[in-house]
Amino acid sequence: MPEQLLYNDIRKTEDKDKSLPRGDDRHFPFDHVLGPSSAIKEAYFEIVESPDTNSETVLVALSLDEHADQWDFTTDNRGIILITYDDTKGLTVGSYSFAVELIDQTDQHYTPVRGSFEITADIINDSETAPYLSWTTRADLTTDIAALEVEMIQMQTCGNFSELTVAATGGSQATLDVANGAIFTAADNIRLVLDDGTYEDDVVDSVSSNELTLTGTIAGEAAIGNKVRIL
């Protein structure tokens, strides 16, 4: 290898290769020779696609100025960069290059470490791709299911409900056929459980035997046996 030029006999650039599973949170420690944090004016970390061309694409850029909470210089001659999930979650698996550059209080530039940076596949990932739910979607869905279970328990244990005897097709339908229309009266606020697990609220306009005419229309589909209860 060619001899490395030095600025002041101690500022060397260390060549190190790094690897990171895409979307992981990791600490990236590195050594430098500038001493305490007060000696560091600016700091930059970048992962680039093609450092050997004049049109390299910067994939990750973390500066001390804009991402101070991801840098730690509390130990003399030691730096730590926090690479977060959001920094690499969208990167394509592959091999890239990285460098850390520091600027001292006299505006001298210093690259303490550089090398290749491999992004490996995330076996478990927060993906919206079917048939998998993202962690966020799954958490929201779990909350919705829990609320629906409470609703169903209430409908099963209370006496002011009946069941559909004719399926509701949704759309412009404004009537419901129930097993026991006698418990309903005009102006009742009702709730109908739909086939997709959600429910619709409406108001009874009139009751004729076991047929409820609503003031609005049912938008979703509800099968025979689905519950209708008075709120």
The verdict on residue 8 lying in a domain is: no
The domain boundary residue, chosen from 74, 91, 120: 120
In angstroms, rounded to a whole number, what is the distance separating the alpha carbons of residues 18 and 21? 11
Our count of domains for the chain comes to 2
Mean pLDDT of the chain: 87
Q: What is the pLDDT of residue 128?
A: 60
Contact predicate 147/182, CB 8 Å? no
Q: How much is the pLDDT for 205?
A: 93
3-state DSSP assignment of residue 143? helix
Task: Write down which residue in 120, 149, 182 finishes a domain.
Answer: 120
CB 38 within 8 A of CB 83: no
- Domain C-terminal end among 73, 105, 120: 120
Residue 66 lies in a domain: yes
> Do the beta carbons of residue 84 and residue 22 sit within 8 Å?
no
| 143 found inside a domain | no
Residue 51 lies in a domain: yes
Domain that holds residue 106: 14-120
pLDDT confidence tier of residue 68, bands split at 50, 70 and 90:
very high
- Residue 204 resides in a domain: yes
Separation of alpha carbons 121 and 94, rounded Å: 9
The backbone region for 176, taken as left when phi is positive above 0, alpha when psi lies in -120 to 50, beta otherwise, is beta
Taking CA atoms, 11 is separated from 38, 47, 77, 114, 207, in Å, by 17, 22, 12, 13, 88
Tell whether 55 is covered by a domain: yes
Residue 142 and residue 126: Cα distance in Å, rounded? 16
**pLDDT tens column, 171-203:** 777 899 999 999 999 999 999 888 887 888 999
Specify the CATH number for the domain of residue 183.
2.40.30
Please report the pLDDT score of residue 159 as a whole number.
60
Q: Are both 29 and 98 inside the same structural domain?
A: yes
Helix (H, G, I), strand (E, B) or coil at 200: strand
Tokens 């759309």 belong to: 171
Q: Which two tokens stand for residue 182?
A: 């006698």
Average pLDDT of the residues in 213-221: 89
Q: Are strands 227-230 and 78-83 parallel, antiparallel or unpaired?
A: unpaired
Least confident of 16-20, 43-47, 56-60, 116-120: 56-60
Q: How confident is the model at residue 220 (pLDDT cuts 50, 70, 90)?
A: confident
Q: Residues near 199 by Cβ (< 8 Å), separated by ≥ 6? A: 148, 151, 191, 192, 193
Q: Calculate the CA dihedral of residues 18, 23, 24, 25 and round it to 10 degrees.
A: 100
Q: Which of 90, 74, 89 is nearest to 37 (CA)?
A: 74
Q: What percent of the chain has pLDDT over 90?
A: 58
Tens digits of residue pLDDT in 125-174: 666 665 556 666 666 777 777 777 666 655 555 568 889 999 988 777 78
